[in-house]
Amino acid sequence: MDPRFSAEALTSCISRLLEVKQQQELLAAEQKELNEQLRLAHLRGDLHQTLPAGKDGNGYQITPDLVLNRRQGRKQWSYSIDCKEIECQLKARQRYEQQSGLASYSLSAAFWEVRASKG
């Protein structure tokens, strides 16, 4: 019997997967908070007063080898009513084809998801 697949090894694997998931959630929240802090510092001009400009004038020089660059956010498109109507029609047609069996699908690679039970 392969020890990698023992009950103890699998329980350990699942427990570690849950820990990693929780750490990712905490890190994502911290990253969002830190980005917001930097955004506010940039808007107030605090970064410009504290840090020299980067070599290309875009961003801030942290150390000789480290530059903090500010990237533009993603485009947030706003469409006309005509386009929104077409999108609604497309979604309705997609649902119809899924329910009627006209649409086909394929499954991507499986993955494991760990959920903490509430209660």
Q: Which two tokens stand for residue 65?
A: 């080898």
CB 68 within 8 A of CB 60: yes
- Residue 119 pLDDT grade (very low, low, confident, very high; cuts 50, 70, 90): low
pLDDT at 117 over 90: no
Its pTM stands at 0.63
Helix (H, G, I), strand (E, B) or coil at 85: helix
Q: What's residue 37's pLDDT?
A: 95
Residues 107, 54: Cα–Cα separation, whole Å: 46
Higher pLDDT, 10 or 71: 10
pLDDT at 66 over 80: yes
pLDDT in tens, 69-112: 888 889 999 999 999 999 999 999 999 999 999 999 999 999 88
- Residue 20 pLDDT grade (very low, low, confident, very high; cuts 50, 70, 90): very high
- Spell out the domain ranges in the chain: 3-73
